[in-house]
Amino acid sequence: SAVISQKPSRDICQRGTSLTIQCQVDSQVTMMFWYRQQPGQSLTLIATANQGSEATYESGFVIDKFPISRPNLTFSTLTVSNMSPEDSSIYLCSVGGFSSEQFFGPGTRLTVL
């Protein structure tokens, strides 16, 4: 399985600010995904990060709030913009493919005050 790292591991931010989360994989992967896990909840897919094209967002998530970059096959970033306390969650990136195993990074724990 791929080794996935995320930065930062946690952060405490003020409302109205933005935070960029980085996801690095030790091998080239076609598909990368960003998930959110709100306190006490399960995981919800935010978007699929596509290399060389715009990210594909799920219902309820928009590019202005969660811009994503995917400059190459080993790296992606997710920005949480204009944050509010409701954005306090764990943000996880994962890698995998169609009908195959998906593996998760260690996550970024975000608290918005």
Partner 1 sequence: QKEVEQNSGPLSVPEGAIASLNCTYSDRGSQSFFWYRQYSGKSPELIMFIYSNGDKEDGRFTAQLNKASQYVSLLIRDSQPSDSATYLCAVIYNQGGKLIFGQGTELSVKP
Closer residue to partner 1 (CB): 14 or 100? 100
Binding mask 50-69 for partner 1 (x = CB under 8 A): ------x-x-----------
Residues 53, 56, 61, 66: is their CA dihedral positive or negative? negative
Instruction: Out of 54, 101, 111, 113, point to the residue binding partner 1 (CB under 8 A).
Output: 101
Q: Of the listed pieces 11-19, 67-75, 78-86, 102-110, which binds partner 1 according to CB under 8 A?
A: 102-110
Residue 41 makes contact with partner 1 by CB under 8 A: yes
The separation between the first and the last C-alpha atoms of the chain, rounded to the nearest angstrom, is 36
Site of tokens 């928009």:
62
HSE of 49 in the Cβ direction (CA atoms, 13 Å)?
A: 27
Cα-based torsion angle of the residue sequence 99, 101, 105, 106 in order, rounded to the nearest 10 degrees: 130
Residue 103 makes contact with partner 1 by CB under 8 A: yes
Whole-number Å distance between alpha carbons of 53 and 67:
13
Among positions 19-38, residues that touch partner 1 (CB under 8 A) are: 31, 33
Instruction: Out of 36, 77, 87, 107, point to the residue binding partner 1 (CB under 8 A).
Output: 107
Residue 14 makes contact with partner 1 by CB under 8 A: no
